[in-house]
Structure 1
């Protein structure tokens, strides 16, 4: 059948405008236009784009797509793929990174799309799912590490906001990001870059090289990238070098040598003189208002890293072999090695009596007191010598065959994908028995008996050697009770996939109908195995969680593209996913229906409605037992004392707010998180090489996973025990089994398994503008802008809880990592002959200040919103000869620090939200790119 062209004139101007304008490039995916296909000419009239399995010629479809080209990565000053995606306007949510050294994954990089969970984005590499990072975000969520992508190998990045599960399966709730790597080069190329920071730290060196060549029917591209980045220490930035100097309370030094009860005791006859050489001579006598004196330093926050010491090596190959006109064999291999080093510094490197003794009795003071002892840089041998280190080895292998089926319009693509990610977290620990023995021998001395306080609690009696307490310890002694332990984790995924497509199935009034069928199957696994000593509790002040599991899966997808009229096209897809786990099957069908309407040449109206889902992660299903402590009213004991649930606030202590242990573990019976999504919008091209896009997105998400609320468990337990519910019912039997009480009827433990219980709704608006034009002898000008606005974001943690308006609650805005309500960026690019220059700006909207978060109010004294944050990047490039391009880039051109937030107290060591802002400041990069034989 001859490919139809009816209706093509209706969007000719629109397509020309989008392709020509900078930043509105076609969203190529699995097969970009750089592919060296040997198919007949008729097969090249359409290409596969992200957001559809069916090859097509339209630039804009019913699925809104943003594309970041390889040229834009350089022009706009993006230092990596992660940096480019994090700066995009749709990345409005808060996300942890290298500044969060006390988090679970400071060596990884990710983003939050529109303030939704970081695991709600489906990441693809060349159209294949990216492997999961083995460690868990926030200790509970599976996600992808964007730091493993070689920037110089990227051809372009496609971003599709909105639910996409009917084509891409699980995880594609917030959207899909497809990172398309290069398939062909016109010449061998070497790229060298060096960067440094105005404020110090973070010096960066990167080199890459790549080449592609043909040997008969064999075509190959191979490239590698190496990068080394020095750490950035908190002492390198004035805002983080010391405790907060401009807070709501006076700047307060660290409590490195502290004896405390309801007040502080200064028991050093030398009044800190023996330790005054610590922290580079900044340790000294300090005091805290209303408490008392101690020894400390204002400069201890500076000994933590806020940017990792990083070394990466990445390699990529793409190869094809044209067997004949209808068979092309292909393969992709991507490998990444990363080593990250970081430290949280003195903040988490200390010893105290509170953990083991819960206070001891000093007969000379006639008081129950605690010791707290921080370890100084001089004692540890420099914090650089005890940094934590993560080593990640990840690879992705794709082998396949594709081509046409005879002389028909049918195409096929059969492939096998294997991804593997292995991680070693080598962290520094204090060993429980050695550290307790050391301070028992050198400070506390033998126990002199037991003292029972007024509340009936027992305490050991000690007569400590306070002179030794207020003295430095040798580095050899510190090393005797500290050391390293490894946590090893891995994730893997196998997928066999077959796709059959026909872009010209039959003629319809608006052109040729297209169809695609996909079937895939495979398995995946996850294993997180801490050092046995961590599981046994041998690490002082630290716990660990293990887990492991695997499952098989299969899916089938059908997609239709129907040009109903010259101006109207319908797109529809239906998918079925099934996962076999723990001898049961979890399945979910998803669908999508979209329409494209072109009433005249310059305008496209589009709408899409469908469903999306996220299958429970392997961690949600198989994570081992974790423990913690919580408080909640003991409704049963309060009721026995005459205080019903509605009057529990008047219940006598301790039952009004009782402390107990909570135990959480994975749940293989979890069901998928589900979502209903829709979008509508337009693309308008009023003149040639100009386009304006505006799209409205909606999400309604249900069955979100979180641990069961202990308050709700205790409410239901009381109803069962008091006879309001049938105590013999399965519900009561399950609830009573979750609550453990001692012989006196007091709560000791509550099991809080992960359950499908939460929901949220979100609406967002995304607007884009692109315009490129020739300015005569002045050269070429390109304008590009994008704006995102989260219009609504509500969360309901439990069906019986009130719905929380995240946009209007400063506490929950930060609790749920909602981030910025608005975010916008724009760029201006000029080019002429051998010169090119770009100015890029990014505006981050307002967020709650610390006091607003603390009081959950914007009207409380000192509460409010922070001013928007504006960051500018600039770049200029020059090609003195065709084969050589020299570039100079400046990131954060005006050295802007986070907005001032003077509502933080003087005890804060990071007076800004590090998940929203950074203090890296201005950075400079010089780069040279040389193409051989040009």
Structure 2
């Protein structure tokens, strides 16, 4: 870790010395090598081999650890800290910083990723600590807050994207679980992740890495170069990294190339050409309109389209292989640049500057599920004068129609940078250190999305298939009449025809953040029986902004079947922090901190005060008992406050029309699909009056280090989070509307006025008592949700020499989610997210372990990651009581690597990820309609991968 000054009062603590030795070993280039061989101090000094000698404590250097602003000797403090060295990231097989973080044992929550292929943030990567939302984690780079990603996670939440950190330039990653707002401000509820980049390199280094997947796709090429120099008082280091990754397509993996063949029912082909009757709700058999239809489209989807029958729905034309034409892994091209410079302007003044720049281009294909046309978008149903029935038609576009799905991929381009300038040093000859800096972050995103133009696509099918409008339907139900040409419907189209009604939208978004931060620190403010007390004071001021400007065509209905979010806003803020660390006596240290944050939003003030109190008790030199209690908060995000009127498509139960037909209460499941699963266009917007989310948290634990290179820790953590931001419940609005319209609630009450105003319907009352269909529902954001979490985190580290056979070291971490109760709205019962699978499919337990061997020029690492049980598909949709519901077995993957110092300066490495090619645990509860019979938020089907890496350090000599 980074030294910040010589220790003034060195306490002889075997625990501190042992842990520092472990830390030094984990951060050094030779992770498990003998620390003395790498030139680092160890916990003891001995004379020549064979001579007994009492251990002699080394003088330790004070260090700054995440979780405290005050330099100190103790590596373990009142809160648990998980540290991953840059070298460990490489030897464990991690390709990116994001991958390393997502494989941490505390990342128990499910998150959207590349496999979603239709998410709002396809090119970004994040994680969920302890099952909490991604925005509940504070991300730092070198202790400074990262800027937010411009696009919104799941279309609503601001979050941090960790995909743009140059892997080769990472010194270490520190993960600090638990509430930390009293030191780091907003968002630090679940924990803090601090990514520390290198500040010095030992000469120029060139690194090249090439990787392939055994099953194909995902081939990667990465190059990096770093160097540094010192001229007098000026020091500069910098590096660049470039990486190019090919996409992984669904058809390149057995589990995703076709519709599920091992599910609860037979494999069912997709409905690529389908007619639905509005009278029966079932398919209109293809033979009824064109007996030779399916044979004319048989060459589509690589010759796999054919005549299909689905009981009891009817017949249609379709393929089993449509799921394969989407990407499971993005195609990416990215480049990063990082520089760190210092200048010693005087005896007590050092000027510094850091610049991190990231360029990322991501391409992906959403597949046929998002590339189709249906008549319902314009007509709902139309009356077929020949069939004398109300009809909907659906037509999926094949790879032959579109000219290959790789030719219509979506693309997002991100340009981001983070610039810091400042000065640090000491105030004269006093014991006060200062650090004054300015940080500016800027992130710009251009999302180029493949789109179907609403009017052109409808006009094309009207002209080629539906024919002229024959007027209102003869039964007076408000539909239009047509006499379709079904022969034209069941005919492949040319690529030119397809491109006549398709193209690309361009949506632009941006975030920016300015922060001025000043810190005063005195590590020896006064002396107590246990040593010197330290104090740190911080003042911060800044502003930040967010702007999401979608393509206008997405907002005004010119894009078929798609909409977007929009919004813009900014706010200013200031904060003050005070921390006091006091070694009351040799065995007991108290750490207290308090912070006040204030935001000015839309002319109003939103503020929060937080505090933390930590205790460290060392009854003996090898044992630490620790505890911490405090508060945390998350300020309303800019999107929660300033999201403009944005649209989405969804479905819900139309309670009033179901009740009008006699389906209510226990009979609601029998309500016809038209009302039981009513499709609607939703709208939502932000709320500047939102209040901060607040949390109370505490933890306690133990650290034991009985041997020189051994440490075991176990910590219990608790959170009580209140006032989480949630969209108004559409289900509740529709239920309120039913009660109001039926007269069971005062129609003039506030809840009735809200429900009736926010739910829009088409005009008309039918003879059966039903009213017009839902056309749109508006909802806003409110502070209503609550969650309570208990978790156990354990860590084990041990290293020892094996004589002439080298050195071994072992690490293991384990997380067990003991409780996660969630209340979405006031008055709702608390839902058990760990035991009620309809609420969550998060992992209850996560664990990983590594074994590292080093001898001379050789080193090897075996890394295992265990994902605990999760509910199967039937359980997640129906609960454990449902027939066939259950859990999936734990998923274990192994990575292995071996490195060899071939010649002076040249290090060669071979890494094999997922050594045993482990696929997700078999889930036979998925239906035959599924194209990906596994939970893509928890698992992947990438399989075994091989990586070759060469690192050359110029001027390095043989040791």
Instruction: Give the TM-score normalised by the residue count of structure 1.
Output: 0.93
Of the structure 1 ranges 194-203 and 538-547, higher mean CA displacement relative to structure 2 is found in 538-547
Matches within 5 A, 1:252-651: 252-261=268-277, 262-266=282-286, 267-453=289-475, 457-627=477-647, 628=649, 631=652
- The range that moved more, 738-747 or 889-898, is 738-747
Equivalent in 737, 750, 764 of residue 791 of structure 2: 764
Aligned to 2:810: 783
Q: 2:905 aligns with which of 859, 871, 883?
A: 883
Q: Counterpart of 2:728?
A: 708
1:201–1:650 distance in 2 versus 1, CA, 3 Å: closer
Distance 1:360 1:731 in 2: 37
Measured on the aligned residues, the alpha-carbon RMSD in Å equals 2.8
Contact map agreement 1:21 1:691 (CA 8 A) in 2: no
Partner residue in 1 for 2:49 = none
Give the whole-Å Cα distance in 1 for the aligned partners of 2:658 and 2:491. 49
* Deviations 1:528-576, CA, capped at 9 Å, x for gaps: 1111111111001111221110000110000000111100000010000
How big is each residue's C-alpha offset from its partner over 1:92-129, in whole Å with a ceiling of 9 and x where there is no partner? 11011110101111111111111110111100001111
Structure-2 change in CA distance of 1:600 and 1:917 (3 Å):
same
Match of 2:854 in 1: 831
Q: Quote the residue 1:163 is aligned against.
A: 179
Secondary structure, in 3 states, of the residue corresponding to 1:99?
helix
CA distance in 1, matches of 2:736, 2:313: 43
Give me the whole-angstrom Cα distance separating, in 2, the residues matched to 1:777 and 1:12.
Answer: 29
Asked if 1 retains the 8 angstrom alpha-carbon contact of 2:657 and 2:675, the reply is no
- Residues 846 and 82 (structure 1 numbering): CA distance in 2 closer, same or farther, change over 3 Å? same
Name the CA distance, whole Å, in 1 between partners of 2:245 and 2:402.
24
Query: What are structure 2's unaligned runs of at least 5 residues?
Result: 30-37, 40-58, 766-770
Give 1:807's aligned residue. Answer: 834
Shift of 1:359: 1.8
Matches of 1:369 and 1:740, distance apart in 2: 25
Post-superposition offset of 1:15: 3.3
CA distance in 1, matches of 2:650, 2:868: 36
Trace 1:711-730 onto structure 2 (pairs within 5 A). 711-713=731-733
Contact 1:610 1:678 in 2 (8 A): yes
Q: 1:9 to 1:308 in 2, by over 3 A?
A: closer
CA shift, 1:881, in A, is 2.0
The alpha-carbon deviation at position 292 of structure 1 amounts to 2.2
1:69 equivalent among 58, 76, 85: 85
Per chain length, whose mean CA-contact separation is higher, i.e. which structure has more relative contact order (CA < 8 Å, sep 6+)? 1
Q: 1:15 to 1:901 in 2, by over 3 A?
A: closer
Match of 2:19 in 1: 15
In 1: Cα distance, 2:755 partner to 2:503 partner: 43
- 1:845-897 CA-to-partner distances (Å, cap 9, x unmatched) read 0100001112122x322111001101000000000223110000000000011
Matched, 1:114 2:130: yes
Residue among 67, 88, 103 paired with 2:119? 103
Conserved 8 A contact 1:14-1:603: no
- Name the residue aligned to 2:878: 855
Using the TM superposition, give the Cα deviation of residue 449 of structure 1 relative to its aligned residue in structure 2, in angstroms: 2.3
**CA–CA distance in structure 2, aligned partners of residues 908 and 720 of structure 1:** 40
Aligned partners of 1:326, 1:896: CA distance in 2, in Å? 56
Task: Report how far residue 713 of structure 1 moved.
Answer: 4.7
Q: Does 1:914 align with 2:941?
A: no
Residue number in structure 2 paired with 1:28: none
Write the distance in 1 (CA, Å) between the matches of 2:743 and 2:486: 58
Contact 1:22 1:772 in 2 (8 A): no
Name 2:46's counterpart in structure 1: none
Aligned positions, number: 911
Where 2:101 maps in the other structure, the secondary structure is: helix
Contact 1:10 1:567 (8 Å CA) reproduced: no
Q: Distance in 2 between matches of 1:846 and 1:219?
A: 51
Give the deviation of 1:326 after TM superposition.
0.6
Contact 1:362 1:461 in 2 (8 A): yes
Seen in structure 2, the aligned counterparts of structure 1 residues 355 and 879 have a Cα distance that, compared at 3 Å, is same
Partners of 1:672 and 1:528 lie apart in 2 by 22
The counterpart of 1:841, out of the listed 864, 880, 883, is: 864
- Select between 358-367 and 153-162 the one with higher mean Cα deviation: 358-367
Q: 1:727 to 1:902 in 2, by over 3 A?
A: closer
In the TM superposition, residue 378 of structure 1 has moved relative to its aligned partner by 1.0
SS of residue paired to 1:264: coil
Deviations 1:692-713 (A, max 9, x none): 0101111100000011224545
